[in-house]
Every structure is written in structure tokens, then in C-alpha cells.
Structure 1
Amino acid sequence: MAKSKGARIVITLECSNKSVDISQKRKAGVFRYTTTKNRRNTPGRIELKKFCPNCNSHCVFKEIK
């Protein structure tokens, strides 16, 4: 028998702070976190405040596709 699709899905969070100068960054590139969310409890996109090593500060991370 096939299992039904669960409520938990894997999502990717990306740093939304794009206006940081290269001189202030530690290294070039975009930093991403991977986490899970419950599709039934949070149907919208998630925004979490986490540490970004590229910006060297806490930034808002937004859910991407």
C-alpha cells in the first residue's frame, strides 16, 4: 500500500538582507538554512530571524521554493 503524503515538508530559508556591502561581508554568496514545517499549521511562507555568517549578524530568513 502506498503511504499518503505527510503534513511535514522540507523547506529552504534564504537570507533576505541583499543590501550589505561586500566589504562588510565575511565571504561572498547567499546563505541558506534547511528546516521542516507543518503544512497544516503554517500554510503561508515562514520568516525566521537567524544568524547569517555572510552578513555577520542576525537577519530575517524567508522561505523560498
Structure 2
Amino acid sequence: MECNIDRSKKRHTVASKSSVIRPKITLACTECKERNYITKKNRRNNADRLDLKKFCPRCKTHQVHRETR
């Protein structure tokens, strides 16, 4: 048995990495420098680095976590 399915119509285009509006970023604790969280941010709304107060399991307290590159 042969299967005559035209697979050429099901091609998907993939956006390049440079045009991603919501890139993945890593958040690191400002006290112990451990990278604890991964999140996404909107590059159009927040162009500068992101600062969030999150729980650090190493420090065992809430600390400011800053976006790392």
C-alpha cells in the first residue's frame, strides 16, 4: 500500500531569534548571585533590566532578583 499524501503544503515558517518579542530571561539573586528563576518579558514594554522581589531558596528570604544576560 502506498500513501499519496502531499506533505509540501504543511511547511511552517519559524521566526528568527532576533525578532522574538518575548525572550526568556534568567533572574539572579542580588545577594548570593544564584540564578533561581526563568521567565519571559515583553521587550517592547520593558526595554531595561527587570527587577523582581522573589524568594531565594539559598538565602531563605525574599530578595531582589535582577535579570541576567
Question: Percent identity between the aligned chains?
Answer: 44
TM-score (norm 1): 0.73
Aligned to 1:3: 15
How many residue pairs were aligned?
Answer: 55
1:1-65 to 2 correspondence within 5 Å?
A: 3=15, 5-18=19-32, 30-65=34-69
Gapped runs of 5+ residues in structure 1? 19-28
Which structure is larger by alpha-carbon Rg, 1 or 2? 2
Q: Separation in 1 of the partners of 2:25 and 2:68? A: 7
Tell which has more relative contact order, 1 or 2 (C-alpha 8 A, sep 6+). 1
Q: Once the two structures are superposed, what CA deviation does each residue of 1:3-23 show, in whole Å capped at 9, x if it has no partner? A: 3623111101000013xxxxx
TM-score (norm 2): 0.69
Q: Separation in 1 of the partners of 2:46 and 2:20? A: 14
After the TM superposition, list the runs of 4 or more consecutive aligned residues in structure 1 that deviate by more than 4 angstroms.
none
Gapped runs of 5+ residues in structure 2? 1-12
Letter aligned with residue 60 of structure 1: V
